[in-house]
Chain A
């Protein structure tokens, strides 16, 4: 099993550009999450989804959008990149109660 796969691993964007961070999981998990990780700040929840077609905002959703058209995929979109969005982004999925969240290896994004 591949688990949770994130692409790309690294990306440099210019201010104002847009991009989509891809996340796919092959475990048939209903729950999926997007986090950003800034140095010394832990992980902050951006958006989450409880199933295909259902998404909701997390703690820090401004500047981001998500969609969940299939169980497997949960892309994160940045529309107008800003330097404050420079971070490492992690996608995670889980099956439900008493189960761990499984994380991908992250996308390191720099906005210059």
Chain B
């Protein structure tokens, strides 16, 4: 119940295309869903986050779509660029858990020029 399942493991997209990464969870107590971006040799960095009281959040080319009834959320990268090539992790947190994050297994995105 503490798992967050992420798919796909890897993704190749042409420049200008849309990248879509999906995550699913079981524990309905989760109340915070961040996405982290990680470049090789670096630590993850927060990209965008959402709480379950909204169905969508957009920041520039990055959008989180959240489906509370299906217990799924996804990251959409519009107009994907080679500089977006990185590993993306979804995560979830339970209130009152000292903000501990449960991470998905990661998606390695390659955007071809």
Contact = CB atoms under 8 A, between A and B. Distances in A.
B35 to A, nearest CB: 11
Interface in A42-69: 42-45, 48, 50, 56, 58
B40 to A, nearest CB: 11
Chain A at the B interface: SS class: strand
A51 B10 CA distance: 37
A56 to B, nearest CB: 8
Interface string B41-78: 11111100100000000000000000000000000000
Contacts of B42: 105-106
A43 B91 CA distance: 10
Contacts of A84: none
B47 to A, nearest CB: 9
A76 interface: no
A43 B44 contact: yes
B46 A101 contact: yes
A43 B99 contact: no
A45 B46 contact: no
Contact of A97 (B45, B89, B99, B100): B99
A90 B9 contact: no
Contact of B99 (A31, A44, A56, A103): A31
A33 B98 CA distance: 10
Nearest to B44: A103
Contact of B100 (A40, A42, A48, A104): A48
A94 to B, nearest CB: 6
B43 A103 contact: yes
A4 B43 contact: yes
B60 to A, nearest CB: 16
Interface in B24-46: 34, 41-46
Given A40-B106, A45-B100, A100-B45, 7 more contacts: A31-B99, A43-B103, A94-B99, A100-B49, A103-B45, A104-B43, A106-B42
Interface of B: 6, 9, 34, 41-46, 49, 89, 98-101, 103-106
